[in-house]
Amino acid sequence: MTTIADDGAQPEHYYHKLVGPEPEPGFQDPAELERYWGRRWGAADEVSPLRTVLVRPPSSGLSKITAEAWDPRAGALVDPDRRWYWRGDQAPDLRLAAEQHAALVSALRAEGIEVVQAPELPEHTKSVYTRDPMLTVPGGAVITRLAPRMRRGEEASVTRTVAALGMPILGTITGTGLAEGGTFVKLRRDLAVFGVSIRCNPEGARQLAGILEPLGIEVVPVPLPGYTIHVDGQFHMVDHDLALANTHRLPYEFLARLDSLGIKVVSPHPDEQYACNSLTVRPRRLLFPAHCVRTADRLAAEGVEIVPVPYDEILKNGGGIHCSTMELVRDW
């Protein structure tokens, strides 16, 4: 004989009605994240206090780079099999690269930042640049899809690393989409830009916009000129209302958007354009390439605190301090 609940419903119907569903509050609600995922993962901007960061040591595969690979057309050492390149005509100083990366890790820890180290990848000479295989927003991470064949596989490694921490994976770029974290910049909680370039295509931008739309984040594609590959080499948020930018390497529409948002732009010294590749650890405090002293003076005039970090050897591999760090948690 079937038992009927007091309201006339079958017992199992009554139970399911009693226990849910509960779509609100949303996934990225801070209390939801802290209760079910352990902490308030991700970042809402580029400047709030940095709490946890992902790094990876320089690849031992750099030892394969020799001066015999000099290509005068590129002004660099270039692997004919397209597994690496190195700027300049001298082979990497592996000891110096290791020392400079260790100095960056020490500087991060001196700021009270938790440092997560991903495992070294001997076959991936660019894997020190943890910025590119992922990006973070409030609630977790989006895994990107790297453009060059020589970097494919870093995505899987970084996914395993952050998932093991308990960080939610909100999405992954798939199909023919190409997207790299270095070209994604959060201007404010609800607005981000994605630099479209030879390395990051419109399909990657389309997929990313679809992943972030439910989180209330608008993604604005920014066409980058020439062979500029990422936004972060040309633009860096220093505070909510202050940025460092190589304005000649960015489209006017983007600069006009910054002005409309009340973001003041400071230009680096013309001989120090790599100064944009730095890391904000809290508003107006930067871990900054030590050799960019004239740009440091310009920022100091704006009330910015500079923590110099020697990084010129690793820079020859194609990226700087910002490229070598990926925020997992910022206050939001």
Question: Is pLDDT above 80 for 7?
Answer: no
The confidence score (pLDDT) of residue 2 equals 47
Least confident stretch, 6-20, 184-198, 203-217: 6-20
Is this prediction's pTM over 0.95?
Answer: no
Quote the tokens at residue 169: 């994976």
The CATH class for the domain spanning 28-330 reads alpha beta
Question: Is pLDDT above 60 for 220?
Answer: yes
Q: Which residues pair with 280 in a beta bridge?
A: 286
Residue type, 179: A
Nearest to 195 by CA among 176, 233, 223: 223
Confidence tier at 6 by pLDDT (50, 70, 90): low
Q: What is the DSSP letter of 276?
A: G
H or E, element range at 188: strand 184-188
Maximum pairwise Cα distance, the chain? 88
The confidence score (pLDDT) of residue 3 equals 47
DSSP helix/strand/coil, 103: helix
Question: Is pLDDT above 90 for 117?
Answer: yes
Quote the tokens at residue 30: 């801070």
Quote the tokens at residue 188: 């404010």
The pLDDT of 63-85, averaged and rounded, is 93
Least confident stretch, 81-85, 128-132, 273-277, 302-306: 81-85
Quote the tokens at residue 25: 């509050």
